[in-house]
């Protein structure tokens, strides 16, 4: 089961707001894709939250775009920032990236974001959003959201 960003936001507005803030704090984040041989590839990436979707834009024929065309599964980690602070916690998103082929939809994104042309554009279908943070300098808290499943919160000392 998957959900787009709007469905996630509707199901868990506080966690969605926190995730957007974490991704908004820095420009570059880490995307994991699968190579031809199935081994992981990590690369830097900029993301956009726009019109109820989480978008991934890429340079033409970049290895990450070719990976996603072959196998749409991805994991995305928000830039943790400088030092040890992890302000707002660690946020990770997993799902499937679906390439946008519709010229009108791609043009609308291009008008809003103004990426270098040409570019690949993928919209995401989420399978999981995870936030990990420290509470009261005592607890490690892990929040896990998956489509159709209530938010789980795990606290560890």
Q: What is the pLDDT of residues 115-140, one digit of tens each?
A: 888 999 999 999 999 999 999 888 99
Strands (E), the chain: 29-34, 40-45, 47-50, 53-58, 73-77, 90-99, 120-135, 139-146, 149-156
pTM: 0.92
Q: What is the pLDDT of residues 50-94, one digit of tens each?
A: 999 999 999 999 999 999 999 999 999 999 877 666 666 899 999
């Amino acid at each position: 089961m998957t959900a787009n960003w709007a469905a996630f936001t509707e199901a868990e507005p506080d966690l969605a707001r926190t995730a957007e803030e974490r991704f908004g704090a820095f420009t570059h984040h880490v995307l994991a894709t699968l190579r031809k041989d199935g081994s992981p590839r990590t690369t830097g990436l900029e993301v956009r939250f726009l019109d109820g979707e989480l978008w991934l834009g890429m340079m033409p024929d970049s290895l990450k775009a070719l990976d996603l065309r072959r196998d749409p599964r991805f994991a995305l980690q928000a830039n943790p920032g400088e030092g040890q602070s992890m302000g707002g916690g660690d946020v990770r998103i997993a799902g499937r990236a679906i390439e946008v082929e519709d010229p009108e939809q791609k043009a609308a994104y291009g008008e809003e974001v103004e990426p270098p042309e040409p570019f690949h554009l993928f919209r995401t279908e989420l399978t999981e959003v995870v936030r990990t943070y420290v509470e009261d300098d005592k607890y490690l808290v892990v929040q896990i959201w998956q489509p159709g499943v209530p938010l789980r919160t795990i606290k560890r000392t």
